[in-house]
Structure 1
C-alpha cells in the first residue's frame, strides 16, 4: 500500500517479488480454470450416465461460469475493501472445498447447484487478477505479466480436462472431477504461500461508489468494446469446445471417448499465443493484435467443418491460437484503459466473457441438437465478426496504445 503518498512504480521483471507474483497468479489462474472447465471433458460420460441430452449435460459447465458471472462485480467491491490478495485467497479456499463436494452429490441438479456455488466462490481471481497486476507491476511490463497469468488459465484448462476426461472413463466422471479438485487444493496452498504482500493497492476513493464506477465504464467506448469482444470471443470458444467431443465421437470420426480429451492438448497453442501476443502488443499496439486473432479464428472455421480428423485438429489449432491472440489483449486493456475503478472494469470484462461462455455455450447446444455442427459453427462465425467490429470501432481512437 502507498504509505508515503507517492505512486508505486511496480515490480520489474527479474526481481524476486515479480517472480513470486507471477507464480502466484499462474497457480491461481490454473486452479480457477481447471475447476471451471474440468466438466467439459466429462460431458459425454455424464450425458451417457445420467441419460440426458448434450445441451442438458453442458449445464455442468455453464453453471460454474454463471456463478462466476454473478459474483465478479461483488468480489471486485470486496477486494476494494479487504485487498486483492486476501480476496483471492478466500475465493480459492472456499471454491476448492465446494469442488471437492460437488461430485459427491446424488443428482445432476445437486451437482449443478454446487457448481453454481463453486463459480460464485471462484469469482475473485478473474475479477481482480488484472487489477492486481496493474497495481503491482510496472506499467510497460503488464502485458507480459498478464500473458503469463492467462497462460496459467489455459494450462489449468488443459490439465483439468486431461485429468478429468481419462479418469472419468476409467472410474467414472465423479472421480474425474474429484481428481481435479485435489490438484487445485495443492495450487491454492501454493498461491497462499508465495503471493507477495501488495504495495500498489490504494483502496476505494472516498465517495466513489462501485455502481457509479461501473456505469462510468459502460459509457466508455473503448472499455465497452473490450467487454463486447470478451463476450463474443469466449462464447465462441466455449461453443466449439463444449460440442467438439460430441462431434468427434459420432460418425464419420467415431473417436473412442477415452481419447477425446487428448484434443484439449491443442489448448497449449493458446498458452503460446497468449505469451506472444503480450510481447507483440508492446511493439505494434493492441488493435492490430486483436484483429489478427479475429481473422485467424474466422479462417479456422472451414477446417472445423472437415470430415478428416487431421484437418479438423489443424482447424482447432488455428481456432485456439486466434482466440488467445485476442482474449489476453482485450482482458489486459480492460484494466489498463480504466482511469478509475480498475477492479470494476476488469470485473466487467470477466463478467462479459463468462456471460458469453454461459449464454452462447448453452444456446449453441440447442442449435447443435436441432441442426448439427455446421449451423453451430455459423453461430461461432457471427459472434467472432461482432467481436471484430466492436474492437475496430471502439479501439480505433488510439487509447488502446496509450499505456503500452
Structure 2
C-alpha cells in the first residue's frame, strides 16, 4: 500500500514544479498551466465514486492493480503530448484511471488490518503519498534542468510502471472482502446514510478546504521563487519539495497521536499548525519562506491522515463509498481552489494567494472545532 500511494502521488503531481516552464513552453498563463494539476485532480474526483462501486463489486485488490497499471501507461504518454490541449486531456485521463487505487485503498486497510493497527497503517499509506509526491516533483524538476520536461515526465511514467509491477506481485490478497451489490438503490441509500451522519459531511469539507489550500500553495510557490530577489533554478525549486519528508513523518506520527489523544483532540491543532506555516511564508527571507512551507506541510499531512482514518472508522460497512466521497471532496478542493488560486495569484501575487488560502484555513479550523464537539459514535472515534 505504501508503494501504491507513492506511485499515485508521484504521477498525479509530477507537473507541479514544472508549471512556470510549461507556461513558457506552450505560451499559456500561470493559471492555465496550473490546469495540468487541476485537470488530473478533477478526473480523480469524478471517478472516485465509480471506482468505489467497482471495488465493492469486483474486489479492492484487482481494481487497485488495474488502476495503477493504466495510469502508468498514460503518464508515459504525457511525455509525448504534441500540444497543451493534448497534455490536459492525458492528465485528466490519468486522474480518472488512477482513481481506482485511492477509492479502494482506505477500504482495503479498514478490512485487512486489525482495529488497533488501522491508524498506523493509514499513516504509513499517507506517508507513501507524501514521499511519492516529493520524489515525483523533485525528480521531474531535476531531470528538466539536465534534459527536458518531456524526459522528466517519461521517467516518472517508467517509475509508475515499476511500482505497478511491485504492487501486482506484492499486494496480499483480500481475506475479509465481501462483495456488495452495486445497484443504484443501494448506492443512493448508502450515500444518504453517509450524509446523515453527524460527522462525515464535515470531514468531507475538511478535505476539500485543506487539500485546496495545500495544492494552491505549492502550485504557485515556484512562480514566486523564480522571481527576484530569489531567481531560483528549476532544481532548486524542485528541492523545496523535499519538505514532503516532513509530511511523511507527520503522517506516521498522526497515527500515534490519534491513539493517544483521539482524532477530535488532534485535528484542530494540526489545522492551526498549517495556518502558522502559511503566515510565515509572508516573510521575505528565503529561509523563513521554506520554514513556513515545511510547517504548513507537516500540519497538512497530519490533518489528512487523521481525517481520512476517522472517515473509515465512522463509516462502518459503507467505508468504501465514504472513503470515495472523502477523496472526491479532497481532489475537488485541489481542482477548484487550486484554480481559484491562479486568479488570486494574478490579482495580488503572494499576498493575494495567502489571503485566499488563509480564508480556507479559517473555515477548516472552524470545522475541526465543530468536529471536536461531535458525540462519539460507539467505539469508532
Fold match by TM threshold 0.5: yes
More displaced, 365-374 or 200-209?
200-209
Report the 3-state secondary structure (helix = DSSP H, G, I; strand = E; otherwise coil) of the residue aligned with 1:163.
helix
Deviations 1:303-328 (A, max 9, x none): 10111001111111111111112111
RMSD value over aligned CA atoms? 1.4
Q: Quick one: distance in 1 between partners of 2:75 and 2:129? A: 17
- What TM-score, normalized by structure 1, do the two folds share? 0.91
2:27 counterpart (45, 48, 51): 51
Contact 1:294 1:323 in 2 (8 A): yes
Q: Quick one: distance in 2 between partners of 1:206 and 1:63? A: 27
| Aligned twin of 2:332 | 355
Contact 1:44 1:257 in 2 (8 A): no
Report the 3-state secondary structure (helix = DSSP H, G, I; strand = E; otherwise coil) of the residue aligned with 2:13.
helix
Deviations 1:142-174 (A, max 9, x none): 000000000000000011001111111222111
Contact 2:264 2:371 in 1 (8 A): no
| Aligned twin of 2:254 | 277
| Aligned twin of 1:196 | 172
| Aligned twin of 2:354 | 377
The aligned runs of 1:138-149 (5 Å cut-off) are 138-149=114-125
| Aligned twin of 1:222 | 199
- Structure 1 unpaired stretches of 5+: 1-24
The runs of 4+ residues in structure 1 deviating greater than 4 Å are 205-208
User: How far 1:82 moved relative to its partner?
Assistant: 0.6
User: How far 1:397 moved relative to its partner?
Assistant: 2.2
The yes-or-no answer on 1:249 pairing with 2:226 is yes
The yes-or-no answer on 1:65 pairing with 2:41 is yes
The aligned runs of 1:9-48 (5 Å cut-off) are 25-48=1-24
- Structure 2 unpaired stretches of 5+: none
Number of corresponding residues: 380
User: How far 1:258 moved relative to its partner?
Assistant: 2.9
| Aligned twin of 2:52 | 76
Q: Quick one: distance in 2 between partners of 1:332 and 1:286? A: 9
CA distance 1:401–1:328, change in 2 (3 Å): farther
User: How far 1:339 moved relative to its partner?
Assistant: 3.0
1:290 counterpart (245, 256, 267): 267
User: How far 1:221 moved relative to its partner?
Assistant: 2.3
Contact 2:53 2:182 in 1 (8 A): no
Deviations 1:97-154 (A, max 9, x none): 1111122120010010011111110001111111110000001110000000000000
Contact 2:106 2:122 in 1 (8 A): yes
Report the 3-state secondary structure (helix = DSSP H, G, I; strand = E; otherwise coil) of the residue aligned with 2:271.
helix
Contact 2:281 2:288 in 1 (8 A): yes
Q: Quick one: distance in 2 between partners of 1:206 and 1:57? A: 38
- What TM-score, normalized by structure 2, do the two folds share? 0.97
Q: Quick one: distance in 2 between partners of 1:93 and 1:379? A: 37
